[in-house]
């Protein structure tokens, strides 16, 4: 299996991404989960990460708290999407599994140094603060990363927090800029892909019909998560942004994209946090990321439902 660290700000869609990873031990070994401030503040994201591990029946998973604020900006949160707890929808018990003592950034650095070079993949599902802080503190780790597979950004689908920016990149654009410049192989799941991963009514029913606690929780989380997108965009279901990352590790052939140059806007007020993706390769700048553009949605949901059913 591929060894990964999930860096996350749960978030209902983060939760589903974590469940998918924990349900797929043949393909994925979760070395640890690092929480970051994003959808909700850090004290909630680290708690939510532990709630999700217990829901998966995997309380031995190591969960670390990372950075509680962006590198040099004030935290912007998204309770308007995810609810007050970040995980609104199902009623899940408070976690009893421990939070690890080490800081999430230290865990990322130490793991990349301890494991053989090129064998650990980072999976950021929130603002890139933890990853950028690790890279700044320990520049030697960049060359040891197998791949960074992240959810963030947008091209044709432009923005969801401003007209031109996607939430994860917008919250900490300086961190995103550092990550996109770090030289490690990067694969990006932008809104262009994730807005095709919609939990329609039949797909929601399929989770519910699993008849298990994780299946029911996923159905309730996506029910809650859907409200916002339906009202706002008239979308036919909740977009499962972050699970695209963990699905890619299991079935990469479900996704197609282009290896292109992607730069992050950090100066302009108007377009702060925009992922300037050179889709048509007009800039002459070197490619630094594989930017996904399309997804086999039926294949994605078949995989997800099957795996959630194994928990
Ligand atoms: C991203 O922002 C968060 O609200 C979601 O969890 C996802 O990671 C989508 O823009
Ligand atoms: Ca997220």
How would you write the pLDDT of the chain (311 residues) with one tens digit per residue? 999 999 999 999 999 999 999 999 999 999 999 999 999 999 999 999 999 999 999 999 999 999 999 999 999 999 999 999 999 999 999 999 999 999 999 999 999 999 999 999 999 999 999 999 999 999 999 999 999 999 999 999 889 999 999 999 999 999 999 999 999 999 999 999 999 999 999 999 999 999 999 999 999 999 998 777 667 777 788 899 999 999 999 999 999 999 999 999 999 999 999 999 999 999 999 999 999 999 999 999 999 999 999 99
Give the distance (Å) from ligand 1 centre to CA of residue 107: 23
pLDDT of residue 226: 76
Residue 39: strand, helix, or coil: coil
Please tell me the predicted confidence (pLDDT) of residue 157: 87
- Which bound ligand lies closest to the C-alpha atom of 169? 1
Ligand 1 centre distance from Cα of residue 116 (Å): 31
Q: Where are the alpha helices (DSSP H) in the chain?
A: 12-22, 42-55, 79-82, 104-114, 129-137, 167-171, 173-180, 191-194, 201-208, 213-233, 243-250, 297-308
The backbone torsions φ and ψ at residue 219, rounded to the nearest 5 degrees and listed phi first, read -60, -45
The predicted pLDDT at position 234 comes to 73
Sequence-distant (6+) residues with CB within 8 A of 158 are: 164, 191
> What's the pLDDT at 249?
98
Round to whole Å and give the CA distance between 234 and 228. Answer: 9
ipTM confidence: 0.99
Question: How far apart (Å, rounded) are the C-alpha atoms in residues 91 and 26?
Answer: 30
Residue 259 CA: distances (Å) to CA of 30, 195, 235, 288, 302: 27, 20, 29, 7, 27
CA 60 to ligand 2 centroid distance, Å: 22
- Cβ–ligand 1 distance for 64 under 6 Å, the answer no
Q: What is the 3-state secondary structure (H, E, C) of 144-164?
A: HEEEEEEECCCCCCCCCCCCC
**Distance in angstroms (rounded) separating the CA atoms of residues 249 and 260:** 20
Measured distance CA(291)–CA(192) in Å, rounded: 10
Catalytic-residue membership of 43 = no
């Amino acid at each position: 299996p591929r060894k990964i660290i999930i860096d996350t700000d749960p978030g209902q869609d983060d939760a589903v991404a974590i469940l998918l990873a924990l349900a797929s031990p043949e393909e994925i070994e979760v070395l640890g989960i690092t929480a970051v401030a994003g959808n909700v503040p850090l004290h909630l994201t680290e708690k939510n990460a532990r709630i999700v591990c217990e829901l998966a029946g995997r309380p031995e998973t190591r969960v670390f708290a990372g950075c509680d604020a962006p590198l040099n900006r004030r935290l912007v949160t998204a309770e308007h999407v995810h609810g007050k707890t970040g995980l609104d929808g199902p009623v899940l018990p408070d976690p009893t599994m421990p939070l690890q003592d080490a800081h999430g950034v230290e865990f990322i650095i130490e793991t990349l140094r301890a494991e053989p070079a090129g064998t650990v993949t980072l999976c950021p599902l929130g603002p890139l603060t933890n990853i950028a802080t690790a890279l700044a503190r320990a520049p030697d780790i960049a060359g040891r990363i197998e791949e960074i597979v992240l959810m963030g950004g947008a091209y044709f689908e432009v923005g969801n927090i401003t007209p031109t920016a996607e939430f994860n990149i917008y919250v900490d654009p300086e961190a995103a800029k550092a990550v996109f410049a770090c030289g490690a192989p990067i694969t990006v799941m932008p809104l262009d892909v994730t807005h095709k991963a919609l939990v329609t009514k039949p797909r929601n029913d399929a989770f519910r019909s699993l008849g298990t606690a994780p299946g029911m929780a996923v159905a309730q989380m996506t029910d809650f998560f859907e409200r916002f997108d339906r009202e706002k965009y008239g979308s036919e279901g909740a977009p499962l942004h972050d699970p695209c990352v963990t699905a890619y590790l299991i079935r990469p052939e479900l996704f197609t994209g282009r290896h292109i140059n992607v730069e992050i806007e950090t100066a302009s007020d108007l377009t702060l946090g925009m992922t300037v993706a050179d889709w048509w390769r007009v800039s002459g700048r070197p490619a630094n990321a594989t930017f996904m553009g399309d997804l086999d949605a039926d294949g994605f949901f078949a995989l997800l439902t099957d795996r959630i059913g194994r928990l």
